[in-house]
Amino acid sequence: MTAHLPGSRIRPTPAPLLNPGETVVLFDGVCKLCNGWARFLIRHDNKQRVRLAAVQSPEGQALLAWADLPVDQFDTMAVIRDQHYWVRSDAFFEVIAQLPARWSPVRLLRVFPRALRDWAYDRVALNRYRIFGKYDTCLLPDPDHERRFLKSPM
């Protein structure tokens, strides 16, 4: 039996493609805001505690299916580790918890009730293409960042 982590949902089996304890952030690979978030994580996650996968990638699709989340219409970021996954504002706070201590004041926003946090998160997520724009295709990672992206074994 696995311990429940705050805000997480639990699946009966560990996530595929991940090593034990490894954390992956699923993001919309055509969303300009989401790609900016991925670049932010690469820049500020000095200890390389999180890996990334676009929801449109084969790896992202496999992880969405494992979490029983929609594979064709995705309006939230998801964070996956072992048998746990987080979505919406809980996913955001789980990622912030993986970053260096200088980012911990952001976690104070968790004092707001989840319903309010998720409402605010959804307003941005549902309007992200209109506000920030959209790429025609998923951007490929820079060669020096490629190791930060989850790749399934061939």
Domain-embedded: residue 1: no
Tokens of 128: 């992200």
Domain-embedded: residue 151: no
Domain-embedded: residue 95: yes
CA distances from 138 to 27, 49, 75, 102 (A): 11, 23, 16, 31
Using DSSP's 3-state secondary structure scheme, residue 143 falls into helix
Domain-embedded: residue 31: yes
Average pLDDT over residues 7-13: 92
Domain-embedded: residue 6: no
Of 14, 95, 98, the C-alpha closest to 62 is 14
Domain-embedded: residue 4: no
pLDDT in tens, 37-77: 999 999 999 999 999 999 999 999 999 999 999 999 888 89
Q: Positive or negative CA dihedral for 24, 105, 40, 136?
A: positive
Give the separation between CA 17 and CA 35, rounded to whole angstroms: 22
Domains contained in the chain, number: 1
pLDDT in tens, 75-119: 889 999 999 999 999 999 999 999 999 999 999 999 999 999 999
Return the CATH number at 76: 3.40.30
Give the separation between CA 88 and CA 146, rounded to whole angstroms: 25
State how far Cα 27 lies from the chain centre.
5
Helix (H) or strand (E) holding 78, with range, is strand 78-81
Domain extent at residue 75: 11-133
Domain-embedded: residue 109: yes
Partners of 53 in beta bridges = 26
Q: What is the pLDDT of residue 1?
A: 43
Tell me which DSSP letter residue 137 carries: S
Domain-embedded: residue 92: yes
Of the listed ranges 3-7, 33-37, 53-57, 136-140, the least confidently predicted one is 3-7
